[in-house]
Amino acid sequence: MKILLKNAKRLLPQDKIERCEVLIENKKIKQIMPEITAENVDQVIDCKGNLVTPGFIDVHIHLREPGGEHKETINTGTEAAARGGYTTVCAMPNTSPVPDSKENILGLLTKIEKNAVIRVLPYASITKNLAGEALTNFKEIVDYPIFAFTDDGVGIQTAHTMLEAMKEARAVNKPIVAHCEDNSILYDGVLHEGEVSDRLRLPGIPSACESVQIARDVLLAEMTGCHYHVCHVSTKESVRIIRDAKNAGIHVTAEVTPHHLLLNEKSIIEDDANYKMNPPLRSEADQLALIEGLLDGTIDFIATDHAPHAEKEKAKGFLNAPFGIVGLETAFSLLYTGLVKEGIVTLHQLIDWLTIKPAHVFQLPYGRLEEGYSADITLIDLNKAYTIDKHTFLSKGKNTPFDQQRVNGMPIMTIYEGEIVFKEIQ
């Protein structure tokens, strides 16, 4: 299949934009030039002056299948990802069964091969059945295309378990990816411990619940030499610890979500569980520290933590609803509107945090709009203004705090390995 993208623009450093055309052949980017004349092209696509970027990469999503298909499936989740401009996603292991053995992983890989419309790189769990006790057999599993090891959704509660996991991960050259939460100081909290939890009279989650585990783990990572990656950083203390660890030469990396960059606890007006996520929306000071950490490189990139739930589940209020919101279909538009258009970050920085930075951290051969790389390409209309409508989501999950928000910038076409997997109806 030979495709020519005509009349496009690409982004250069300092947010300079230049005209370009892209020739795709045999699933690869064959050529990028200001103008291309090619013979025997199967399809010519007029990009109408819109921006071409590498396909986005999200290393933190929940596809729910197997076991939670009423919330999301591999097919609906990857369709949603493609709509959001993503061509590579990494699926968390909180499924049933858990991918903690070669049999379970083979079953998951078969489902991905059959149902995914983009690239899905699955995690394996650190501990068997995500129970936080006996370790998964890392050496047995590493022979399969596993992205990394994590017990996301649950913090590893003992230093001994984390130390042994890091030793095993280091031996097989895979990262440990950590959801950091100390259950001993969780206090059954459902949102950030602060002025809003006081106002709504709901149990709060202290910031230290996250940061104390990060502090423990970076020292264990220093001890073992393991690559340690922190999921969805949410507090200023966590940013400080990660910054200090990087300055000490420890191999630690970190991600932040769009919702933690764009919202804080004051965004919660009433008992609406569409604002319930883990970690919770923190204080304004935390939000500003996250932005600063992203800008200075303490935090490496952005990941959505796309966590779909059924509407009836999220209708139960903060005390009884599950944690999590969806994010794949709205991430770029929200970040472009809330950060780039507001002059907080540049468009070049945003695209890097969605593409080349996660690829670099995890040594993935994707995330570049360059000749010879996989033809994973996102076409973006930066001038498109629209209102987010959860009822139009391709994801089964409608649980978003951003419903009816007016935004700018829309991914209008997604190409994965040279094949169009999403196209916005014009």
* CA 248-249-254 angle, 5° bins: 95
Q: Pairing between strand 149-150 and 56-61? A: unpaired
Cis peptide before 66 (omega within 30 of 0): yes
Q: Which residue of the set 305, 352, 376, 381 is catalytic?
A: 305
Peptide bond connecting 279 to the previous residue in cis, omega within 30 degrees of 0 = yes
Residue type, 118: I
Task: Give which of 121, 134, 61, 65 is closest to 96, Cα–Cα.
Answer: 65
Phi, psi angles (nearest 5°) of residue 292: -60, -40
Task: Identify the CA nearest to 120 among candidates 425, 423, 424, 417.
Answer: 417
Backbone angles phi, psi at 304, to 5 degrees: -80, -30
Query: Which residues have a Cβ under 8 Å from the Cβ of 374 and sit 6 or more positions away?
Result: 27, 28, 29, 365, 366, 417
Q: Does the annotation count 305 as an active-site position?
A: yes
Burial class (CB in 10 A: 0-12, 13-18, 19+), 37: exposed
Q: Which residues are catalytic?
A: 305
